[in-house]
Amino acid sequence: MVFRLVLVLFFCSLPSILSQDNNAVTIIVKGSSTEADTDDTFVCATIDWWPPEKCNYKQCPWGNASVLNLDLNNPRLSKAIQAFSRLRIRVGGSLQDQVLYGVGSLESPCDPFNQISGGLFGFSKGCLGMRRWDELNLLFKNTGAIVTFGLNALYGRHGVRKGVWKGAWNSSNARDFMAYTISKGYPIDSWEFGNELSGRGVVAKVDALQYGKDLVQLKSMMDALYDTSHIKPLIVAPGGFFDDQQWYAQLLEVSGVGVLNAMSHHVYNLGPGNDPRIISKITNPEYLSRFADTFRNVQLTIQRHGPWSSAWVGEAGGAYNSGSSIVSNTFLNSFWYLDQLGMASKYNTKVYCRQSLIGGNYGLLDLETFMPNPDYYSALLWHRLMGKGVLSMDISGSPFLRAYTHCSKQKSGISIVLINLSKSTGFSVTVRNDLNVDLADGSGLRRDNSFSHGLKQTVSWIGKKSSDGSERREEYHLTGKGGREEYHLTGKGGDHLSRTMLLNGTPLELTQSGEIPELAPVFAAVNSPVNVAPLSIAFVVFPKFEARACA
């Protein structure tokens, strides 16, 4: 009788046992060398030019968030930037090729953008006055921001037919603007030339041959203007979609050695902001992985045609036309965003600029309150924890668990971000070091998402050194607030469309004094599995992981 009862209990528990086995994941980190590197200011956010009249899908989500009307004295804005210590801010966007600079012969009048029929994107030319430029630079100075400024690359050209612009760039207004900027001592890190004029263009396009010649002119002008300055800004271009590889190759070849420091492209791989499939796209690992081909092709183009340059993502909002009103400002968007940061890093992308710091539905900060949206905290955690060196790894288990490994930021060891796209399955993740692991084919490990290796021998994560369990790692578990019980140890996530993110079960909210909250970890023994709940994200820091590349 007892035997029959035990047998019944065994078969009843068998699905759970099998499920646990299926949900076990092993990650083997290869720490002997890095496979790619990012810049210290990899995480970047944009301030755009869109006026309040910019509307999509019967919504106008820009309000007073543009370069010209943003409240630069809002303390929440300053504190949000300061929390990064050195946040790169890219000033630019769709209207930048219609911006005049109110200096020199164009000092007055200096008019704002207005809606007009037939204008690019439906707007007239606008103007940045030098008083406003002074105010912006005061914000940048007080917050420690690193500035990339997008120049008007259409000035002097003319449209010859729909979407096609001809003629050489007129550099006179940009020259006066740069001269003013230098005279004031404003430390611009980089000048980006043009926005979405490359390849097939968006509403305007310029031939690669002419664009390359204009970059040479820009370089010559900057060399003269910055001749006696200790600041030597970079040149970034073209800030468009990588939809014509030959166009980009020709741009590098025509401009020549040492001119274009960074080749920038844009990412809006989720489609239009009103696409009802956005949620399913974000949680589909196959869909997310498709964009790897673009990063790979950008990297190959640079290697073959301009190895003196590097890859930047100059603008990335996920969903275009101001983002999705039901997804872009919620916890779920962090699954797309962090996956993009990880994927871009693997292909030697040096900078990744999020559209936007504020404005649209995809702002890191709320348009009205300036309170951080969930992606703000995701960006901040990446910036603080994930270092420049990107490490390769082998991973077993479901494709719904995404993983990216870097050297830790400003400390020894490694940091891993784990992204669980599954709505129902949690994962138990064991992280190991390849120093003592003998690999053989056939047992289900995949190398950077391509199945090629298997695990033959199991060892401690710490490699050659044994661990008695006293060493601890840091864990930062992110879930959405609301719905079911949220705390990650319960194995249940919260509302994935929540505007509030939980860190280890605690809501991330500004303190009573308006400060960014402390992003404190929980601790666990280094040799125990990491439990990642359904639809959750975990940053994990292993402080003493043996990785020679990170020493």
- As annotated, the active-site residues are 196, 315
> What b/e readout covers 72-84, taking b as 16+ CB neighbours within 10 angstroms?
beeebbbbbbbbb
Mapping DSSP to helix (H, G, I), strand (E, B) and coil, where does residue 172 land? helix
What does the block give as tokens for 547?
């990785």
User: Mind spelling out the 3-state secondary structure of 472-539?
Assistant: EEEEEEEEECCCCCCCHHHCCCCCCCCCCEEECCEECCCCCCCCCCCCCCEEEECCCCEEECCCEEEE
Query: Could you tell me which residues come within 8 angstroms of residue 538 by beta carbon, excluding any fewer than 6 positions away?
Result: 417, 418, 420, 475, 476, 477, 478, 488, 530, 532
What does the block give as tokens for 535?
């639809």
187 DSSP 8-state letter: -
Q: Residues for the chain: how many in total?
A: 551
Mapping DSSP to helix (H, G, I), strand (E, B) and coil, where does residue 90 land? strand
Place of tokens 């630069």: 72
Cα separation, 482 vs 496, whole angstroms: 9
Q: Give yes or no for a contact between 59 and 325, defined as CB atoms under 8 angstroms apart.
A: yes
Cα separation, 316 vs 294, whole angstroms: 13
Mapping DSSP to helix (H, G, I), strand (E, B) and coil, where does residue 49 land? coil
Give the largest CA-CA distance in the chain. 99
> Residue 356's CB: how many other CB atoms inside 10 A?
27
What does the block give as tokens for 284?
């589909």
User: Mind spelling out the 3-state secondary structure of 201-254?
Assistant: CCCCEECHHHHHHHHHHHHHHHHHHCCCCCCCCEEEEEEECCCCHHHHHHHHHH
Place of tokens 């539905």: 361
Q: Give yes or no for a contact between 244 and 197, defined as CB atoms under 8 angstroms apart.
A: no
Query: Could you tell me which residues come within 8 angstroms of residue 486 by beta carbon, excluding any fewer than 6 positions away?
Result: 479, 480, 492, 493, 494, 502, 505
